[in-house]
Structure 1
Amino acid sequence: MLALALLWLAGCSRQPQPAAPSPEQVRSQVERLLPRSASDRAGWAVDIQAAFEAQGLNPSVENLCSVIAVIEQESNFQADPQVPGLGRIAREEINRRAARLHVPAFVVSAALSLPSSHGSSYAQRIARVRSERELSELFDDFIGQVPLGQQLFGRLNPVHTGGPMQVAVAFAEQHSGGYPYPRAGSVRQEVFSRRGGVYFGTAHLLGYPANYPKALYRFADYNAGHYASRNAAFQAALNRLVKARLVLDGDLINYASASPGQTELAVRSLGSRLNMSDAAIRTALEQGSEAGFEGTGLYRRVFELADQVAGQTLPRAVLPGITLQSPKITRQLTTAWFAQRVDERRARCMARAGG
């Protein structure tokens, strides 16, 4: 009987695993999951499937719906979404920087009246600009050709995000290795394309390990930065242990100053209870943008103490309390609002799959 049992177990261990879906199957699935409002469904399906395949991501219904939900929220499936009032926003940014550097208004007007590489003046192009791609190209031209452009912006294009998933250009430039498409131009230019925006947006959303119980927290991270939801929960746990009430913004280190920030000071105040030096605390907090922070003694000990005070296991992820700031935003919005809106879209996508 023992021999038969071993043979049975051996047979079970050799059961064939379900085959991974083919690219054609994934593209077909994406087309079914897209909202009715999406045009060029086949084109979106091609780019989404390619992003998953190139990055070795699991094309589960939930993962596909998560990407679809972010695209719908950020651009409503417009590869080069238009932004109302973008020309005004651009001109205000130029004037703000000029005023900060004490550049006279007539000098700014003279520089903007110069002909650009398109033939029309920079002022005329600003007045006509409708999308962030157009604005990014304009600033590249202005910075590269006009001395005032370099004076105002250095070599840094002030358009920081773009494309159908509104991904940060800096993130794309840091994660361009393995990009599956031939590039005729810069990584920045690829971000503003449909294929590039989907590739880098998918990487930002799903290309990092996170022990979250719900996709909701990934959506918050997408808006506020990787592990912002986990770090906000860590700050909430600290609030159980210290008198100060920390803002749950997910920022564990104050990189803008040499002085320690409020979160670091709060942890330092627990130094004796944690049996950690200030230097050791700093080293642990510097891992706040990585998955490994959860493995530090600081993370474990803070939650052990906070769980004891609360008399229950506290959540290891909470929505960050961040108010969104951008010239493009015309009303008060928060990271929590963004995450919840995207999660609602994900749920509707899942419903379309019958899942």
Structure 2
Amino acid sequence: MGWRRAVLAGAWLLLAALAGCATRPAAPPGPPPADTRAEIARRIPARVDDRSGWANDIQVAFAAQRIAPNVENICAVLAVIEQESGYVADPVVANLPRVARAEIDRRASALHVPQLLVDAALRLSSTDGRSYGERLAAVRTERELSELYEDMIGRVPMGGRLFSGRNPVQTGGAMQVSIGFAAASAQGYPYTVQGSIRDEVFSRRGGLYFGIAHLLGYETPYTRKVHRFADYNAGWYASRNAAFQAAVTEATGIALALDGDLLVPGAPLDRPGSTERAVRTLSPQLGLDERAIRRALERGDRLDFGDGDLSTRVFGLAEAAARRPLPRARIPDIRLDSPKITRELTTAWFAERVDARYRDCLRR
């Protein structure tokens, strides 16, 4: 995970914590659970093993989170599962031993740890009797790699130093959900936790529960599901915020990265990021000073940002300059940077692939 993904993981964790503190509205009466399970199972591809088991876990997650089990929500979840794992609770990752060893070597190099010490640490016996190096060479899934890292962090000083006491595996499960997000969203989890929330993410039931929370557990202003799918990859409201950045560019003539990041985390008021600097050039027309602009941008992770004074006025200026209405949502321009990805992919690629699967599910 690159720096941007680490920032997004922290933002999701905060959003999940805030959501967990709020009282969920009472769900409207829905169909009987058995009918919901039957509808979900009917829309899961026939090639999938244990369709009834997948349907049951999805139905429980919908009920626990008070998410309407309508066809659109069902198909949105199934589309993400199919894209992220192909209906495998703990999917195999290609070339995972090589990717993991490269990450260990990268961290060692950054900390100026000699390769000889790394090799010596990997020759030590782990808790299952094999050496850490043997276990590393045999890992096939993120769950196995996560368990290896947990063992190293807990028992080997070199492991604690390389990983700073934090497991590098930060996503997992059938929907590849952030483990930090899951930990912050655990309130109301309908199952008895076996081990830890991290362990639950790698189970089918936990991966689905927390993945569904990340996909559908917040309100959006979108009229198309593809923007929610982009948010699943880039962070809540990234599609709404990318459209705002495009409007700022239209109004100011200042080219911006349309990535959905409105603020640089922790930036002092006198050293703002590029989007904030561009918005400040509009201060006289907006009738907002630097502090008011900062306060408004800080709400970029909330639904009401789109109806606030800053967004409304920026779009007004942009549409006057463009002489046409501008979209309120667009897929962010982000290149995916996970070490698991071996080719150049983008958030647009992800969102469009999921959207195609979603539409196939609606037709099924």
**Normalising by structure 1, what TM-score?**
0.93
Query: Which residue of structure 2 aligns with residue 298 of structure 1?
Result: 310
Query: Which residue of structure 2 aligns with residue 333 of structure 1?
Result: 345
- Give the Cα–Cα distance (whole angstroms) in 1 for the partners of residues 361 and 303 of structure 2: 28
Q: Which residue of 64, 76, 79 corresponds with 2:74?
A: 64
Q: Which residue of 193, 198, 205 corresponds with 1:188?
A: 198
Unaligned runs of 5+ in 1: 1-17
Are 1:316 and 2:328 an aligned pair? Answer: yes
Unaligned runs of 5+ in 2: 1-27
Residue type at the aligned position of 1:278? E
**Cα deviation code 1:80-107 (max 9, x no counterpart):** 1000111111111111111111111111
Query: Which residue of structure 2 aligns with residue 120 of structure 1?
Result: 130
2:30–2:69 contact (8 Å) kept in structure 1: no
Which consecutive aligned stretches of 4+ in structure 1 deviate over 3 angstroms post-superposition? none
Are 1:21 and 2:31 an aligned pair? Answer: yes
Are 1:284 and 2:296 an aligned pair? Answer: yes
Query: Which residue of structure 2 aligns with residue 247 of structure 1?
Result: 257
Q: Which has the larger radius of gyration?
A: 1
Query: Which residue of structure 2 aligns with residue 9 of structure 1?
Result: none
Deviation at 1:39, TM superposition (A): 1.3
Query: Which residue of structure 2 aligns with residue 263 of structure 1?
Result: 275
Number of matched pairs: 335
Query: Which residue of structure 2 aligns with residue 167 of structure 1?
Result: 177
Alignment of 1:30-45 (within 5 A): 30-45=40-55
Query: Which residue of structure 2 aligns with residue 49 of structure 1?
Result: 59
- Give the Cα–Cα distance (whole angstroms) in 2 for the partners of residues 265 and 202 of structure 1: 36
- Give the Cα–Cα distance (whole angstroms) in 1 for the partners of residues 307 and 66 of structure 2: 25
Are 1:203 and 2:218 an aligned pair? Answer: no
Q: Which residue of 100, 103, 122 corresponds with 2:110?
A: 100
**Cα deviation code 1:69-89 (max 9, x no counterpart):** 000000000111000111111
Residue type at the aligned position of 1:300? T
Query: Which residue of structure 2 aligns with residue 134 of structure 1?
Result: 144
Which deviates more from structure 2 when the two are superposed, residues 37-46 or residues 343-352? 37-46
SS at match of 2:252: coil
Q: 1:343 to 1:121 in 2, by over 3 A?
A: same
Deviation at 1:37, TM superposition (A): 2.7
**Cα deviation code 1:195-217 (max 9, x no counterpart):** 00000000000000001010000
- Give the Cα–Cα distance (whole angstroms) in 2 for the partners of residues 330 and 303 of structure 1: 38
Which deviates more from structure 2 when the two are superposed, residues 92-101 or residues 249-258? 249-258
Deviation at 1:153, TM superposition (A): 0.9
Q: What is the RMSD computed on CA atoms of the aligned residues?
A: 1.1
SS at match of 2:127: coil
**Cα deviation code 1:175-198 (max 9, x no counterpart):** 111111001211111111110000
